[in-house]
């Protein structure tokens, strides 16, 4: 689970940077966080699981922030 969380987090972050295409990989972000949380319950590869959770969370916050700034920018 930890390895899957890390891989999904990296892929989600790299593709998530693309402004409008990044939303198609939203399941990867969510799965990275879920797999990371499940993987952190085991002592082995706990760092990889934590990294997957962090990367998935950063990507989610980045995409939400992007759209908030787009809405604020269009309203101005």
Provide the pLDDT for residue 7: 93
Query: How many angstroms separate the CA atoms of 68 and 54, rounded?
Result: 21
| Parent domain of 35 | 2-75
Query: How many angstroms separate the CA atoms of 43 and 55, rounded?
Result: 20
- 67, pLDDT greater than 90: no
Chain segment 8-64, per-residue pLDDT in tens: 999 988 888 887 777 788 888 889 999 999 999 888 888 999 999 999 889 889 888
Query: How many angstroms separate the CA atoms of 39 and 60, rounded?
Result: 19
Count up the domains in the chain and report the number: 1
């Amino acid at each position: 689970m930890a390895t899957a969380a890390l891989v999904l987090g990296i892929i989600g972050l790299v593709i998530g940077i693309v402004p409008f295409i990044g939303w198609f990989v939203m399941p990867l972000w969510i799965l990275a966080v879920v797999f990371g949380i499940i993987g952190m319950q085991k002592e082995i590869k706990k760092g990889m699981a934590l990294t997957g959770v962090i990367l998935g969370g950063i990507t989610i916050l980045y995409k939400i922030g992007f759209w908030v700034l787009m809405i604020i920018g269009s309203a101005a």
